[in-house]
Structure 1
Amino acid sequence: MNITSAQFVMSNSDISKCPTDNKAEYAFIGRSNVGKSSLINMLTNNKSLAKISVKPGKTQLVNHFIINKEWYLVDLPGYGFAKVAKNTKQRFSKLIFSYIESRTTLINLFVLVDCRHEPQNKDVDFMEWLGVNGIPFSIIFTKADKLSKQKLKDNVIAYEKELLTSWEEMPPYFISSASSGLGKDEILNYIEETNKKISL
């Protein structure tokens, strides 16, 4: 897939006000500071589409971007927030789960995981919840350029072992780097092929 246009549409804290034109939605979520904004900007060839901040928890709303005037890329608030107030965490959590559970146009949730770390309980627990609730999702391992090829392979295998203790098979996953562009074609092709198979 070649992205020729990516435009901001709206930000919402009220899921009922999200777009109603029935276009497919692909949402991106991850723990704070996982590199979500950088990845979105890399995928869309737009360095300023998603706001990048050194302060974790910057994304506080559900942000919709229309891609090629055909489908929505959705930037969700992170989970496992650092340095935000407890009531803010609760508000984010309610917003996240309200979106995931209620949006019938959500085709796939991309769960971003920092490949530099061993499996984190919050990531694993979140993916377990998605599986139990029948939410289609894929994993994107971010910041691959920060590791050697062998260490990257070892960490991905560690995730596979952890998930396969309760899953029959590994969810689809991608290896990415926002700085080098690694994984861009694979992720966009996955979206393109999925769009061909669905009918909303």
Structure 2
Amino acid sequence: MSDPHVLGDELAPTPFTAGEIAAACPDGHWLLVRTERVGETSFQRSGFEQGDAEGVHLTNVTTDASGTPTGEVRRSRATWRELQAHAAFPRAATSVAQERIRLAFGERDCLRYDVAGAAGSSTFWFAIEHPGMPVRYRTAGVAVEVVAIGGAALRRYAERSCGDGTRRLRERRARATPACDRADRDRSAGRAGARER
């Protein structure tokens, strides 16, 4: 595959490459994630440590709403490519658009992935400034959202935010457009191929 965003012939382009995720998730980076189900709200803090060229150790711990741990820390190892593959959705079932959303830590420009499935549709919002997991996720009966981000990656975002706002917006749109264009081209090619068959 010449495009590092595409991990397979039948897969839509991912929002970020493995390298982009690695660069945005240095040791000490963490996210506080809220999960809402019917009658239940829970929080989890996910962190990154001991990263190298191939992958990273992930930490996960149940917390209260403030991010204070209430359970035991769980650790696992993942490669950067495996993390990228979490957002590799079936091309024929995926549409991609740009959308700016408001989160607990501010507004962010996102790539919105709408994915159709047998059990219903799911929607994922990936913040262009924060390569990695979606900052918001909605599916039947479940709503997941990142409510806080910390560590070196967030400090870099704050430093960039002090610059020229017009330039930053233009750069974010330039990074977002190729992913949308790739998904549109893939869907069109898929439809054309189906007609030819």
Which protein is bigger by CA-based radius of gyration?
A: 2
More strand by share: 2
- Normalization by structure 2: what TM-score? 0.30
More helix by share: 1
